[in-house]
Amino acid sequence: MLDQGGQSMLLAGRRLDNIGLALEQRGGSPAGYMPVDIYDSWMRCIALGLDMRRPPPPEFVSPATLRQEQQRCSLVRGLALAEMHTLHQQISGSNFMVAFASAEGLLLDIIGDRSFRDASDAAGIRPGALWTERHCGTNGLGTAAHLKRPVAVHGDQHFFPRYNNLTCVAAPIFAPDGELTGILDASSDCLSRQTHTQALVGMAATQIENGLFREYHRGNILIAFHNRGEYLHTLSAGLLAVDEDGRILSANRAARVLLHGLPAAAGRHFADVFRTDFNRFVDEGRRSERQSLEDDVGSQFVATIENTRQFPMMSQPIVKAPPPPAPAVAEFVSADPAIAAIVRQVENAAARKMPILVRGETGTGKEQLARHAHAASRRSGSFVPVNCAALPDSLIEAELFGYAEGSFTGARKGGASGLFKEADGGTLFLDEIGDMPVSLQAVLLRFLDDWTVRPVGGAKRKVDVQLVSATNADLDESIAKGRFRADLLFRLNTLEVTLPPLRERSDFADIARHVLARVDPSARLTPGAIERLAELEWAGNIRQLRNVLSRLSLAEQGGLIGEAAVKAAIGDLTAKRLSASAPSSGGLKRGLRDLQRAQLLSAYAEAGNNVSKAARKLGVSRNMIYRALREQD
């Protein structure tokens, strides 16, 4: 007995007869009739409710959204366009087109023969069109985006007969962090099918990925290597990015293949993978273009440091380097490899002015990370933090975007330029973005279209800001409840990272020592004290840890903080702890939230309605108090 999907397929005409037969006779096996990837894709299309007899009209985003997306993907697009031109020349003949789409299946660019372009335009194949499976059924771009691997879709393998005269070959493009970042596609009419197209598209995609790798790691040491010297400058060479201490930041796919079985992951050290001494290797790289490199299992490679001139000698400095400039922000502890990877992603995004969204529990360091992003971006303007939870709804638009004198009752004399303007050339940090009123979300969305502020009652002007937003609220739940716009989230989180809670970090000891040194440089923690502290749950995360360490250092008067002092403080800590555990039952969760709110509000009242005092007393952020106050209203 066929299910509804199977019946709809059978009804769809002669081209489905074979598959219908396979379903009936072999219990759903498509073997022998079409490639499994295509069969699976058809099944997904049917599950999505697509009907091949009634293809939906092509769907396009607005020109403004297309421009915005093209801008957002500018780095990968720049690299892709260069490859697309080469690819177009390589695959000669007419009736041919090369396309590039975003990871979301939005067609961004096309290079092709005039005649083919005109014909495809009619079929909706032009920039701005959405080519996911949901929109166009089985097709090269959409199916490769879904599978995250190369795919070829020939003629009647397309789900909708409208595309049966096309042959499409597509390959995904991955960023160095492993995220899908675009799809490259070569399409021709069925008659001009070319045998080498698939290999050429795959090579072009790798070339783009390597270009991205080099761009992302321009400021790091870039090593290319291969076990045969003549392959050093080809696509099969491995690429490795390391920092000046020899810590591995990233390895491309070829490097992972060449170093198969060795720990070449981000966070590991050069010495974990290679027998060759790191400092000697870097210094030698300045003297000769090529040198040998031996891995930990004895394989020999020929290697080159691609950007060696940027880096100083490691082992024998000839001239003493000037002391590095003082860091703009207190150092961001990131000895945990997961945190190190987050920091690296944030630095890369900030260097490219991509909007960043930082998620994480209270006190996990979201603002600190935003400050780090600002410092890493080397932007000359200011870091301007805005707490969306703390601003009254009625004033938040004026505060953010500014206003002209006399534009509303209570407006300051001379007006105000607004926080966006203040952050011009710098970074605007929108903390507690989930608490932004819905009406203002629309204004922010419009701003993100053209980066232009329109002060209340004043003239508009363009600003150049790096946007970092943060939240510890469940934005997905807010979206489901209509309190947060999904389209805004999509624009704010070009890069989205989540800082783990302190209890899940492997660098607790480093954080504790770092935080104590900031609170009291003369105090020290014994290893036993660190062990006891690490056992706690730390609902308030690093902020709570800082408060506890301040209290301990005061009690120990700048001396050595031992296990006994920590043990004595633990009872106190446990009693005062605000629960961070996430109970499974909704009711229990709600009950705990109410309890927590009551606790926050009573501390606020006890502190004489002083938010900062209450937050300090409880070891929570001021945001938590602000939220409790808003929820009370």
Ligand X SMILES: Nc1ncnc2c1ncn2[C@@H]1O[C@H](COP(=O)(O)OP(=O)(O)OP(=O)(O)O)[C@@H](O)[C@H]1O
From candidates 222, 258, 444, 542, binder to ligand X by CB under 6 A: 542
Q: How far is the CB of 362 from ligand X (least distance, A)?
A: 4
Interacting residue with ligand X among 112, 182, 246, 360 (CB under 6 A)? 360
Q: Which residue has the tokens 């602000």?
A: 626
| C-alpha distances out from residue 439 to 170, 185, 394, 452, 493, Å | 41, 40, 10, 18, 20
Footprint of ligand X on residues 52-91 (CB under 6 A)? Answer: none
Q: Does 546 bind ligand X (CB under 6 A)?
A: yes
State the Cα–Cα distance between residues 301 and 236, nearest whole angstrom. 13
Choice between 210 and 596, CB closer to ligand X = 596
- Nearest Cα to 126, choosing from 148, 143, 141? 141
- The token pair at 36 is 């499994």
By CB under 6 A, is residue 623 in contact with ligand X?
yes
Mark the segment that binds ligand X (CB under 6 A) among 110-118, 166-174, 364-372, 391-399: 364-372
Q: Which of 44, 77, 158, 366 binds ligand X (CB under 6 A)?
A: 366
C-beta of 139 vs 427, nearer to ligand X = 427
* Beta-sheet strands, E only, within 361-426: 383-387
- Cα dihedral: 261, 265, 268, 269 (round 10): 70
Q: Which two tokens stand for residue 333?
A: 């502890």
Looking at beta carbons only, is 169 or 539 nearer to ligand X? 539
Per-position x/- string for 130-149, each x denoting binding to ligand X as judged by CB under 6 A, each - no binding: --------------------
Tell me: does residue 171 bind ligand X (CB under 6 A). Answer: no
Minimum CB–partner distance for residue 370 and ligand X (Å)? 8
Q: Does 553 bind ligand X (CB under 6 A)?
A: no
Provide, rounded to whole angstroms, the least separation between the CB of residue 623 and ligand X.
5
Choose, by CB under 6 A, the member of 69, 185, 295, 367 that binds ligand X. 367
333 near ligand X (CB under 6 A): yes
Of the listed pieces 71-79, 182-190, 359-367, 454-462, which binds ligand X according to CB under 6 A? 359-367
Q: Does 362 bind ligand X (CB under 6 A)?
A: yes
Nearest residue to 170 (alpha-carbon basis) of 90, 44, 84, 92 = 84
φ and ψ at residue 104, rounded to 5 degrees: -90, 5
Closer residue to ligand X (CB): 491 or 514:
514
Smallest distance from the beta carbon of 141 to ligand X, in angstroms? 38
Does residue 514 bind ligand X (CB under 6 A)?
Answer: yes
CA distances from 598 to 603, 604, 625, 628, 631 (A): 9, 10, 10, 8, 11
Cβ at position 463, least distance to ligand X in Å: 24
Q: Which residues pair with 111 in a beta bridge?
A: 98
Question: Residue 581: how many CB atoms within 10 A of its CB?
Answer: 9
**5 class by beta-carbon count within 10 Å (0-12 exposed, 13-18 middle, 19+ buried):** middle
Check binding of 507 to ligand X (CB under 6 A).
no
Query: Under rule CB under 6 A, which residues in 186-225 are in contact with ligand X?
Result: none
In whole angstroms, give the CA distance from residue 454 to residue 465.
15
Stretch that binds ligand X, among 300-308, 480-488, 542-550, 567-575 (CB under 6 A): 542-550
The pairing of beta strand 238-242 with beta strand 221-226: antiparallel
Candidates 239-247, 357-365, 410-418, 446-454; binding stretch for ligand X (CB under 6 A): 357-365
CB contact at 8 A, 357 and 498: no
Candidates 137-145, 285-293, 398-406, 541-549; binding stretch for ligand X (CB under 6 A): 541-549
Pairing of strands 221-226, 300-305: antiparallel
Q: Which of 365, 381, 426, 434 binds ligand X (CB under 6 A)?
A: 365
Decide: is 627 part of the binding site for ligand X (CB under 6 A): no
Size of site (CB under 6 A) for ligand X: 20
Round to whole Å and give the CA distance between 376 and 366: 15
Is 301 one of the binding residues for ligand X (CB under 6 A)?
Answer: no
Please tell me whether residue 359 binds ligand X under the rule CB under 6 A: no
- Window 241-300: residues binding ligand X (CB under 6 A): none
Query: What is the C-alpha separation between 107 and 331, in angstroms, rounded?
Result: 41
**The only residue of 276, 364, 377, 553 in contact with ligand X, by rule CB under 6 A:** 364
- The answer to whether 621 contacts ligand X (rule: CB under 6 A) is yes
CB within 8 Å of 377: residues ≥ 6 apart? 350, 351, 353, 427, 466
Q: Do 435 and 627 form a contact (C-beta atoms < 8 A)?
A: yes
> Which residues of this protein are in contact with ligand X, per CB under 6 A?
332-333, 360, 362-368, 431, 470, 472, 514-515, 542-543, 546, 621, 623
